[in-house]
Amino acid sequence: MQPYTPESINGFRAELEAGQFPHIEIARHGRVYKCYVLPQGIKHELPDFALPFTPHPRLLRISKEPENITVFCISDSIRKNVRDLVGGHEIDEFTQIGIETPGRCQMASAMEIQSLSDQRDLSETEIREYLQMRISYFQNLQEYAASKSSFTPADINDFAESQRVFGEALAKRNCVIK
């Protein structure tokens, strides 16, 4: 994946603000990030999408306020009670792990699954549904990314590994509780 210029990120943020798109606030690593909730129709070819708009990693490393130089978006098709998990994955992947880190998506997926297991307000059925949604998302993301020049083969392999990680988490839950 390619980083965005600060100007394009600021322009996109201004469009989101002007369009009055709703957002959720996600606390991560002592900071609060806005994650905009966009209509699924904007990215109809990628169900349950999550979109990061982040600058070059060097800018993130030196920034004292990374929450102000990034934009994160998720689909409104994602259930409200788990949107923070999907947005949190993107925040972790791009602000903590970093776009230059091989396997970053898989690492963020492992962090997401840990966050999911910390959720006390989700039923076992909801957790399984969430895991299945993420498995489907990463399958769809691989197909989507294969058709776009902005993704590398390493990105697509990382998405496949994330799909595997979520599949393993679902398999463990299905073995433990039926």
pLDDT digits (tens, 9 = 90+) for 37-75: 999 998 889 999 999 999 988 888 888 888 889 999 999
Q: Is residue 1 part of a domain?
A: no
The answer as to whether 109 is a domain residue is: yes
Model pLDDT for residues 164-178, shown as the tens digit of each residue: 999 999 999 887 544
User: How many domains would you assign to the chain?
Assistant: 1
- pLDDT tens digits for 70-118? 999 999 999 999 999 999 999 999 999 988 899 999 999 999 999 998 8
CA distance linking residue 178 with residue 167, whole number of Å: 16
Residue 165 lies in a domain: yes
Q: Are 77 and 41 in contact (CB under 8 A)?
A: no
- Structural domain of residue 91, as residue ranges? 6-176
**Alpha carbon 34 to chain centroid distance?**
13
**What share of residues in the chain are helix, strand, coil (percent, to 5)?**
60, 15, 30
Give the Cα separation of 38 and 139 in Å (integer): 21
Q: Is residue 133 part of a domain?
A: yes
pTM of the model: 0.92
Task: Establish if 74 belongs to a structural domain.
Answer: yes
